[in-house]
Structure 1
Protein backbone atom coordinates (compact mmCIF):
# COMPACT_ATOMS: atom_id res chain seq x y z
CA UNK A 1 0.00 0.00 0.00
CA UNK A 2 1.61 3.32 -1.03
CA UNK A 3 1.98 6.03 1.56
CA UNK A 4 -0.54 8.35 -0.07
CA UNK A 5 -3.30 5.74 0.30
CA UNK A 6 -2.59 5.15 4.01
CA UNK A 7 -4.33 7.25 6.64
CA UNK A 8 -3.33 7.93 10.21
CA UNK A 9 -6.63 6.41 11.33
CA UNK A 10 -5.82 3.12 9.56
CA UNK A 11 -2.39 3.05 11.11
CA UNK A 12 -3.64 3.70 14.64
CA UNK A 13 -6.44 1.12 14.38
CA UNK A 14 -4.02 -1.50 13.08
CA UNK A 15 -1.49 -0.61 15.77
CA UNK A 16 -4.15 -1.22 18.44
CA UNK A 17 -4.89 -4.65 16.94
CA UNK A 18 -1.19 -5.48 16.97
CA UNK A 19 -0.75 -4.22 20.52
CA UNK A 20 -3.73 -6.27 21.71
CA UNK A 21 -2.19 -9.41 20.20
CA UNK A 22 1.54 -8.85 20.73
CA UNK A 23 1.85 -6.24 23.49
CA UNK A 24 4.24 -3.31 23.59
CA UNK A 25 7.22 -5.52 22.86
CA UNK A 26 5.59 -6.80 19.67
CA UNK A 27 4.93 -3.39 18.15
CA UNK A 28 7.45 -2.16 15.59
CA UNK A 29 7.15 -0.34 12.30
CA UNK A 30 8.14 -3.36 10.24
CA UNK A 31 5.45 -5.65 11.69
CA UNK A 32 2.91 -2.84 11.48
CA UNK A 33 3.79 -2.16 7.85
CA UNK A 34 3.38 -5.85 7.06
CA UNK A 35 -0.14 -5.84 8.48
CA UNK A 36 -0.96 -2.74 6.48
CA UNK A 37 0.66 -4.20 3.36
CA UNK A 38 2.86 -1.12 3.26
CA UNK A 39 6.53 -0.33 3.64
CA UNK A 40 7.68 0.89 7.06
CA UNK A 41 8.72 4.15 5.40
CA UNK A 42 5.08 4.74 4.42
CA UNK A 43 4.08 4.47 8.09
CA UNK A 44 6.73 7.00 9.07
CA UNK A 45 5.10 9.46 6.68
CA UNK A 46 2.16 9.64 9.12
CA UNK A 47 3.72 9.01 12.57
CA UNK A 48 7.10 10.03 13.95
CA UNK A 49 8.15 6.80 15.63
CA UNK A 50 6.96 3.94 17.82
CA UNK A 51 6.59 6.18 20.88
CA UNK A 52 4.35 8.56 18.95
CA UNK A 53 2.27 5.62 17.75
CA UNK A 54 1.83 4.22 21.27
CA UNK A 55 0.60 7.62 22.46
CA UNK A 56 -1.88 7.84 19.59
CA UNK A 57 -3.14 4.29 20.16
CA UNK A 58 -3.31 4.82 23.91
CA UNK A 59 -5.43 7.92 23.55
CA UNK A 60 -7.70 6.32 20.95
CA UNK A 61 -8.81 3.46 23.21
CA UNK A 62 -10.00 5.93 25.87
CA UNK A 63 -12.74 6.90 23.45
CA UNK A 64 -14.23 3.39 23.75
CA UNK A 65 -15.56 4.25 27.21
CA UNK A 66 -19.20 5.30 27.23
CA UNK A 67 -19.60 8.44 29.31
CA UNK A 68 -22.70 8.88 31.47
CA UNK A 69 -24.51 12.20 31.52
CA UNK A 70 -23.97 13.66 35.02
CA UNK A 71 -27.24 15.57 34.73
CA UNK A 72 -29.29 12.43 34.10
CA UNK A 73 -27.79 10.00 36.59
CA UNK A 74 -27.16 9.82 40.32
CA UNK A 75 -23.50 10.66 40.91
CA UNK A 76 -22.79 7.24 42.45
CA UNK A 77 -24.30 5.46 39.46
CA UNK A 78 -22.37 7.69 37.08
CA UNK A 79 -19.10 7.22 39.00
CA UNK A 80 -19.63 3.46 38.97
CA UNK A 81 -20.28 3.49 35.22
CA UNK A 82 -17.11 5.49 34.59
CA UNK A 83 -14.95 3.19 36.71
CA UNK A 84 -16.50 0.03 35.26
CA UNK A 85 -16.05 1.32 31.72
CA UNK A 86 -12.42 2.16 32.41
CA UNK A 87 -11.84 -1.27 33.95
CA UNK A 88 -13.35 -2.99 30.91
CA UNK A 89 -11.29 -0.90 28.48
CA UNK A 90 -8.01 -1.59 30.30
CA UNK A 91 -8.87 -5.30 30.44
CA UNK A 92 -9.40 -5.32 26.65
CA UNK A 93 -6.11 -3.51 26.10
CA UNK A 94 -3.74 -4.77 28.83
CA UNK A 95 -0.71 -3.30 27.04
CA UNK A 96 -1.96 0.14 28.09
CA UNK A 97 -1.47 -0.78 31.75
CA UNK A 98 2.10 -1.73 30.98
CA UNK A 99 2.60 1.48 29.00
CA UNK A 100 1.63 3.70 31.95
CA UNK A 101 5.05 2.89 33.40
CA UNK A 102 6.89 4.31 30.38
CA UNK A 103 4.64 6.86 28.68
CA UNK A 104 2.89 10.07 29.68
CA UNK A 105 -0.47 9.83 27.97
CA UNK A 106 -2.46 12.86 26.89
CA UNK A 107 -4.91 13.72 24.14
CA UNK A 108 -8.58 14.30 23.47
CA UNK A 109 -9.67 10.76 24.36
CA UNK A 110 -8.19 10.84 27.84
CA UNK A 111 -9.13 14.51 28.35
CA UNK A 112 -12.73 13.68 27.43
CA UNK A 113 -12.84 10.98 30.11
CA UNK A 114 -11.10 13.12 32.74
CA UNK A 115 -13.37 16.10 32.16
CA UNK A 116 -16.52 13.98 32.47
CA UNK A 117 -15.15 12.37 35.64
CA UNK A 118 -14.66 15.77 37.23
CA UNK A 119 -18.20 16.76 36.22
CA UNK A 120 -19.61 13.64 37.90
CA UNK A 121 -17.75 14.18 41.17
CA UNK A 122 -18.52 17.88 41.22
CA UNK A 123 -22.20 17.02 40.89
CA UNK A 124 -21.76 14.63 43.81
CA UNK A 125 -20.63 17.48 46.04
CA UNK A 126 -16.86 17.51 45.57
CA UNK A 127 -15.35 20.80 44.55
CA UNK A 128 -11.89 21.91 43.49
CA UNK A 129 -9.04 19.81 44.90
CA UNK A 130 -11.34 17.20 46.53
CA UNK A 131 -12.84 16.40 43.12
CA UNK A 132 -9.36 16.00 41.64
CA UNK A 133 -8.33 13.70 44.48
CA UNK A 134 -11.51 11.63 44.24
CA UNK A 135 -11.02 11.10 40.49
CA UNK A 136 -7.36 10.18 41.03
CA UNK A 137 -8.19 7.76 43.86
CA UNK A 138 -10.73 5.86 41.76
CA UNK A 139 -8.41 5.78 38.74
CA UNK A 140 -5.58 4.37 40.87
CA UNK A 141 -7.90 1.69 42.26
CA UNK A 142 -9.06 0.67 38.78
CA UNK A 143 -5.50 0.57 37.48
CA UNK A 144 -4.42 -1.67 40.34
CA UNK A 145 -7.38 -3.96 39.71
CA UNK A 146 -6.26 -4.77 36.16
CA UNK A 147 -2.56 -5.33 36.89
CA UNK A 148 -3.10 -9.09 37.06
CA UNK A 149 -4.82 -9.09 33.66
CA UNK A 150 -1.90 -7.18 32.16
CA UNK A 151 0.73 -9.38 33.79
CA UNK A 152 -1.03 -12.57 32.68
CA UNK A 153 -1.27 -11.37 29.08
CA UNK A 154 2.41 -10.39 29.04
CA UNK A 155 3.50 -13.70 30.55
CA UNK A 156 1.37 -15.70 28.12
CA UNK A 157 2.93 -13.93 25.14
CA UNK A 158 6.46 -14.41 26.47
CA UNK A 159 5.92 -18.11 27.08
CA UNK A 160 4.37 -18.50 23.63
CA UNK A 161 7.38 -16.90 21.95
CA UNK A 162 9.71 -19.20 23.90
CA UNK A 163 7.70 -22.32 23.14
CA UNK A 164 6.30 -22.64 26.66
CA UNK A 165 2.82 -23.69 27.74
CA UNK A 166 1.18 -20.83 29.65
CA UNK A 167 -1.71 -22.92 30.97
CA UNK A 168 0.65 -25.59 32.27
CA UNK A 169 2.76 -22.97 34.05
CA UNK A 170 -0.32 -21.37 35.60
CA UNK A 171 -1.51 -24.72 36.92
CA UNK A 172 1.92 -25.55 38.31
CA UNK A 173 2.12 -22.14 39.97
CA UNK A 174 -1.34 -22.56 41.52
CA UNK A 175 -0.31 -25.95 42.87
CA UNK A 176 2.88 -24.57 44.41
CA UNK A 177 0.99 -21.60 45.84
CA UNK A 178 -1.50 -24.03 47.37
CA UNK A 179 1.31 -25.97 49.01
CA UNK A 180 2.64 -22.77 50.58
CA UNK A 181 -0.84 -21.65 51.66
CA UNK A 182 -1.42 -24.98 53.46
CA UNK A 183 1.14 -23.89 56.07
CA UNK A 184 -0.97 -20.87 57.07
CA UNK A 185 -4.22 -21.49 58.98
CA UNK A 186 -6.52 -18.89 57.43
CA UNK A 187 -5.36 -19.62 53.91
CA UNK A 188 -5.71 -23.35 54.53
CA UNK A 189 -9.35 -22.93 55.61
CA UNK A 190 -10.13 -21.04 52.44
CA UNK A 191 -8.51 -23.67 50.28
CA UNK A 192 -10.55 -26.35 52.02
CA UNK A 193 -13.90 -24.57 51.87
CA UNK A 194 -13.89 -22.82 48.51
CA UNK A 195 -14.22 -24.41 45.11
CA UNK A 196 -12.05 -23.50 42.15
CA UNK A 197 -15.06 -21.82 40.55
CA UNK A 198 -15.20 -19.39 43.48
CA UNK A 199 -11.67 -18.24 42.75
CA UNK A 200 -12.38 -17.92 39.04
CA UNK A 201 -15.06 -15.33 39.81
CA UNK A 202 -12.91 -13.68 42.45
CA UNK A 203 -11.25 -10.83 40.51
CA UNK A 204 -14.50 -9.33 39.21
CA UNK A 205 -16.24 -9.66 42.56
CA UNK A 206 -13.23 -8.12 44.30
CA UNK A 207 -13.30 -5.17 41.89
CA UNK A 208 -17.00 -4.53 42.49
CA UNK A 209 -16.61 -4.86 46.26
CA UNK A 210 -13.61 -2.53 46.34
CA UNK A 211 -15.29 0.06 44.12
CA UNK A 212 -18.38 0.15 46.33
CA UNK A 213 -16.23 0.49 49.44
CA UNK A 214 -14.18 3.29 47.88
CA UNK A 215 -17.25 5.21 46.77
CA UNK A 216 -18.81 4.72 50.20
CA UNK A 217 -15.73 6.28 51.75
CA UNK A 218 -15.73 9.17 49.29
CA UNK A 219 -19.41 9.80 49.87
CA UNK A 220 -18.72 10.07 53.58
CA UNK A 221 -16.34 12.93 52.88
CA UNK A 222 -18.91 15.07 51.08
CA UNK A 223 -19.72 18.18 53.08
CA UNK A 224 -22.63 20.49 52.78
Structure 2
Protein backbone atom coordinates (compact mmCIF):
# COMPACT_ATOMS: atom_id res chain seq x y z
CA UNK A 1 0.00 0.00 0.00
CA UNK A 2 1.39 3.40 -1.00
CA UNK A 3 2.18 5.85 1.81
CA UNK A 4 -0.30 8.66 2.36
CA UNK A 5 0.66 12.29 1.68
CA UNK A 6 0.83 12.82 5.45
CA UNK A 7 3.28 9.93 5.80
CA UNK A 8 5.40 11.27 2.96
CA UNK A 9 5.40 14.71 4.56
CA UNK A 10 6.52 13.21 7.87
CA UNK A 11 9.29 11.33 6.07
CA UNK A 12 10.52 14.53 4.42
CA UNK A 13 10.73 16.23 7.80
CA UNK A 14 12.56 13.34 9.43
CA UNK A 15 15.04 12.58 6.68
CA UNK A 16 15.12 15.71 4.58
CA UNK A 17 15.71 13.72 1.41
CA UNK A 18 12.71 11.40 1.16
CA UNK A 19 10.97 11.55 -2.20
CA UNK A 20 7.67 10.10 -3.20
CA UNK A 21 7.24 7.81 -6.15
CA UNK A 22 5.87 9.51 -9.26
CA UNK A 23 2.10 9.61 -9.42
CA UNK A 24 0.59 7.59 -12.24
CA UNK A 25 -1.26 9.71 -14.77
CA UNK A 26 -4.64 8.56 -15.91
CA UNK A 27 -6.43 8.96 -19.22
CA UNK A 28 -5.48 8.45 -22.88
CA UNK A 29 -2.44 10.74 -22.70
CA UNK A 30 -1.19 9.50 -19.35
CA UNK A 31 1.74 7.63 -20.78
CA UNK A 32 2.98 10.54 -22.89
CA UNK A 33 3.34 13.12 -20.11
CA UNK A 34 6.07 13.55 -17.57
CA UNK A 35 5.25 11.90 -14.23
CA UNK A 36 4.14 14.04 -11.30
CA UNK A 37 6.83 14.24 -8.62
CA UNK A 38 7.48 16.51 -5.67
CA UNK A 39 10.32 18.11 -7.64
CA UNK A 40 8.03 18.77 -10.61
CA UNK A 41 5.42 20.29 -8.30
CA UNK A 42 7.97 22.59 -6.61
CA UNK A 43 9.56 23.69 -9.88
CA UNK A 44 6.22 24.41 -11.54
CA UNK A 45 4.95 26.29 -8.49
CA UNK A 46 8.02 28.52 -8.49
CA UNK A 47 7.48 29.21 -12.18
CA UNK A 48 3.91 30.37 -11.56
CA UNK A 49 4.97 32.65 -8.71
CA UNK A 50 7.86 34.09 -10.72
CA UNK A 51 5.64 34.93 -13.68
CA UNK A 52 2.36 35.83 -12.01
CA UNK A 53 3.02 36.39 -8.32
CA UNK A 54 2.22 34.36 -5.24
CA UNK A 55 -1.50 35.18 -5.31
CA UNK A 56 -1.81 33.23 -8.56
CA UNK A 57 -0.56 30.02 -6.95
CA UNK A 58 -3.42 27.68 -6.09
CA UNK A 59 -3.56 23.92 -6.16
CA UNK A 60 -6.01 24.07 -9.07
CA UNK A 61 -3.80 26.50 -11.01
CA UNK A 62 -0.79 24.29 -10.34
CA UNK A 63 -2.63 21.18 -11.51
CA UNK A 64 -3.62 22.95 -14.72
CA UNK A 65 -0.02 23.96 -15.37
CA UNK A 66 1.06 20.34 -14.90
CA UNK A 67 -1.78 19.16 -17.17
CA UNK A 68 -3.28 16.98 -14.49
CA UNK A 69 -5.99 17.06 -11.85
CA UNK A 70 -5.65 18.22 -8.23
CA UNK A 71 -5.91 14.61 -7.06
CA UNK A 72 -2.53 13.87 -8.65
CA UNK A 73 -0.95 16.65 -6.60
CA UNK A 74 -2.49 15.43 -3.36
CA UNK A 75 -0.69 12.16 -3.87
CA UNK A 76 2.48 14.10 -2.99
CA UNK A 77 1.53 17.18 -0.96
CA UNK A 78 -1.04 17.32 1.83
CA UNK A 79 -2.48 20.73 0.95
CA UNK A 80 -1.51 24.29 0.01
CA UNK A 81 0.13 24.84 3.39
CA UNK A 82 2.36 21.82 2.77
CA UNK A 83 3.24 23.20 -0.65
CA UNK A 84 4.12 26.57 0.89
CA UNK A 85 6.37 24.83 3.37
CA UNK A 86 8.16 23.01 0.57
CA UNK A 87 8.71 26.24 -1.36
CA UNK A 88 10.07 28.20 1.59
CA UNK A 89 12.20 25.23 2.57
CA UNK A 90 13.70 25.09 -0.90
CA UNK A 91 14.64 28.78 -0.72
CA UNK A 92 16.10 28.34 2.76
CA UNK A 93 18.19 25.43 1.50
CA UNK A 94 20.17 27.93 -0.57
CA UNK A 95 21.13 30.07 2.43
CA UNK A 96 24.81 29.87 3.38
CA UNK A 97 25.30 29.73 7.13
CA UNK A 98 28.66 30.76 8.60
CA UNK A 99 30.41 29.13 11.52
CA UNK A 100 29.35 31.32 14.49
CA UNK A 101 32.05 33.81 15.43
CA UNK A 102 31.73 36.03 18.52
CA UNK A 103 33.89 38.68 16.84
CA UNK A 104 31.76 38.97 13.70
CA UNK A 105 28.32 37.78 14.84
CA UNK A 106 26.65 41.04 13.81
CA UNK A 107 27.93 40.87 10.23
CA UNK A 108 27.02 37.19 10.12
CA UNK A 109 23.39 37.70 11.13
CA UNK A 110 23.06 40.60 8.68
CA UNK A 111 24.36 38.30 5.94
CA UNK A 112 21.75 35.64 6.72
CA UNK A 113 18.92 38.20 6.76
CA UNK A 114 20.14 39.69 3.48
CA UNK A 115 20.29 36.26 1.86
CA UNK A 116 16.73 35.53 2.98
CA UNK A 117 15.59 38.87 1.58
CA UNK A 118 17.21 38.20 -1.78
CA UNK A 119 15.74 34.71 -1.99
CA UNK A 120 12.20 35.90 -1.26
CA UNK A 121 12.41 38.82 -3.67
CA UNK A 122 13.11 36.39 -6.51
CA UNK A 123 9.49 35.27 -6.32
CA UNK A 124 6.95 38.10 -5.93
CA UNK A 125 4.95 37.85 -2.72
CA UNK A 126 6.22 34.43 -1.69
CA UNK A 127 7.23 35.66 1.76
CA UNK A 128 3.49 35.71 2.52
CA UNK A 129 3.77 31.94 2.85
CA UNK A 130 5.95 32.41 5.93
CA UNK A 131 3.41 34.32 8.03
CA UNK A 132 1.70 32.45 10.88
CA UNK A 133 3.50 29.27 9.86
CA UNK A 134 5.20 27.05 12.41
CA UNK A 135 8.33 25.82 10.60
CA UNK A 136 8.86 22.07 10.51
CA UNK A 137 10.72 21.72 7.22
CA UNK A 138 14.32 20.73 7.95
CA UNK A 139 15.78 23.29 5.55
CA UNK A 140 13.79 26.08 7.17
CA UNK A 141 14.73 24.87 10.64
CA UNK A 142 18.38 24.76 9.57
CA UNK A 143 18.33 28.52 9.02
CA UNK A 144 16.71 29.09 12.41
CA UNK A 145 19.32 26.87 14.03
CA UNK A 146 22.10 28.81 12.33
CA UNK A 147 20.69 32.19 13.36
CA UNK A 148 20.30 31.02 16.96
CA UNK A 149 23.89 29.80 17.07
CA UNK A 150 25.14 33.14 15.71
CA UNK A 151 23.20 35.21 18.23
CA UNK A 152 24.26 33.01 21.14
CA UNK A 153 27.88 33.36 20.00
CA UNK A 154 27.32 37.12 20.15
CA UNK A 155 26.61 36.85 23.88
CA UNK A 156 22.81 37.21 23.79
CA UNK A 157 20.76 35.44 26.44
CA UNK A 158 18.86 32.44 25.02
CA UNK A 159 15.42 34.05 25.42
CA UNK A 160 16.59 37.30 23.83
CA UNK A 161 18.17 35.38 20.96
CA UNK A 162 15.00 33.33 20.43
CA UNK A 163 12.73 36.37 20.26
CA UNK A 164 15.28 38.22 18.13
CA UNK A 165 15.07 35.50 15.47
CA UNK A 166 11.29 35.88 15.41
CA UNK A 167 11.55 39.68 15.10
CA UNK A 168 14.23 39.60 12.40
CA UNK A 169 12.33 37.04 10.35
CA UNK A 170 9.10 38.98 10.70
CA UNK A 171 10.77 42.15 9.43
CA UNK A 172 12.47 40.40 6.51
CA UNK A 173 9.21 38.73 5.51
CA UNK A 174 7.18 41.93 5.77
CA UNK A 175 9.83 43.94 3.92
CA UNK A 176 9.81 41.48 1.02
CA UNK A 177 6.04 41.45 0.87
CA UNK A 178 5.86 45.25 0.77
CA UNK A 179 8.48 45.45 -1.98
CA UNK A 180 6.60 42.85 -4.01
CA UNK A 181 3.30 44.72 -3.62
CA UNK A 182 4.95 48.00 -4.62
CA UNK A 183 6.53 46.43 -7.70
CA UNK A 184 3.21 44.91 -8.73
CA UNK A 185 1.46 48.27 -8.42
CA UNK A 186 4.11 50.04 -10.45
CA UNK A 187 3.66 47.56 -13.30
CA UNK A 188 -0.13 47.53 -13.20
CA UNK A 189 -2.03 49.77 -15.61
CA UNK A 190 -4.82 49.94 -13.03
CA UNK A 191 -2.55 51.59 -10.46
CA UNK A 192 -1.30 54.67 -12.26
CA UNK A 193 -2.05 56.60 -9.09
CA UNK A 194 1.08 55.25 -7.40
CA UNK A 195 3.33 58.22 -6.73
CA UNK A 196 6.87 58.63 -7.97
CA UNK A 197 9.48 60.09 -5.63
CA UNK A 198 9.22 63.50 -7.30
CA UNK A 199 5.42 63.45 -7.04
CA UNK A 200 5.59 62.56 -3.35
CA UNK A 201 7.90 65.52 -2.71
CA UNK A 202 5.52 67.84 -4.55
CA UNK A 203 2.55 66.63 -2.50
CA UNK A 204 4.42 67.07 0.77
CA UNK A 205 5.49 70.56 -0.26
CA UNK A 206 1.86 71.44 -1.00
CA UNK A 207 0.60 70.35 2.41
CA UNK A 208 -1.00 73.03 4.64
CA UNK A 209 0.97 74.58 7.47
CA UNK A 210 -0.54 72.08 9.89
CA UNK A 211 2.25 69.71 8.75
CA UNK A 212 5.43 71.76 9.34
CA UNK A 213 7.75 68.84 10.07
CA UNK A 214 6.54 66.77 7.12
CA UNK A 215 7.01 69.75 4.78
CA UNK A 216 10.45 70.58 6.16
CA UNK A 217 11.80 67.03 6.16
CA UNK A 218 10.10 65.69 3.03
CA UNK A 219 13.46 64.74 1.51
CA UNK A 220 14.41 62.70 4.56
CA UNK A 221 10.99 61.04 4.77
CA UNK A 222 11.14 59.93 1.15
CA UNK A 223 14.89 59.48 0.77
CA UNK A 224 16.99 56.36 0.42
CA UNK A 225 16.58 53.16 -1.51
CA UNK A 226 14.70 50.13 -0.25
CA UNK A 227 18.08 48.56 0.42
CA UNK A 228 19.13 51.57 2.51
CA UNK A 229 16.01 51.21 4.61
CA UNK A 230 16.46 47.47 4.99
CA UNK A 231 20.05 47.87 6.18
CA UNK A 232 19.07 50.67 8.56
CA UNK A 233 16.26 48.66 10.18
CA UNK A 234 18.28 45.47 10.61
CA UNK A 235 21.10 47.55 12.11
CA UNK A 236 18.67 49.31 14.43
CA UNK A 237 17.29 45.99 15.64
CA UNK A 238 20.76 44.61 16.29
CA UNK A 239 21.76 47.76 18.18
CA UNK A 240 18.81 47.16 20.49
CA UNK A 241 19.82 43.55 21.04
CA UNK A 242 23.27 44.43 22.31
CA UNK A 243 21.70 46.26 25.23
CA UNK A 244 19.06 43.64 25.98
Instruction: Say whether the fold is shared (TM-score over 0.5).
Output: yes
Deviations 1:86-123, CA, capped at 9 Å, x for gaps: 22223223423323446444311210000000110111
Aligned match for 2:80, one of 34, 45, 50: 50
TM-score by length of 1: 0.75
Aligned residue pairs total: 209
Bigger share in helix: 1
Query: Match of 2:234?
Result: 211
Aligned match for 2:164, one of 134, 159, 170: 134
Question: Contact between 1:3 and 1:38, CA under 8 Å: does it hold in 2?
Answer: no
After TM superposition, give the deviation of residue 141 of structure 1 in Å: 3.1
SS of 1:3's partner is coil
**Unpaired segments ≥5 residues, structure 2:** 1-21, 25-34
TM-score by length of 2: 0.70
After TM superposition, give the deviation of residue 84 of structure 1 in Å: 1.2
Query: Match of 2:127?
Result: 97
Q: C-alpha separation between the residues in 1 aligned to 2:133 and 2:241?
A: 29
Q: C-alpha separation between the residues in 1 aligned to 2:169 and 2:57?
A: 26
**Unpaired segments ≥5 residues, structure 1:** none
After TM superposition, give the deviation of residue 32 of structure 1 in Å: 1.6
SS of 2:157's partner is coil
Aligned match for 1:182, one of 188, 206, 213: 206
Structure of larger gyration radius: 2
Aligned counterparts, 1:1-224, within 5 A: 3-4=23-24, 5-71=35-101, 74-101=104-131, 103-153=133-183, 155=185, 159=188, 164-166=189-191, 168-171=192-195, 175=199, 178-179=202-203, 182-183=206-207, 184-191=211-218, 199=223, 201-221=224-244
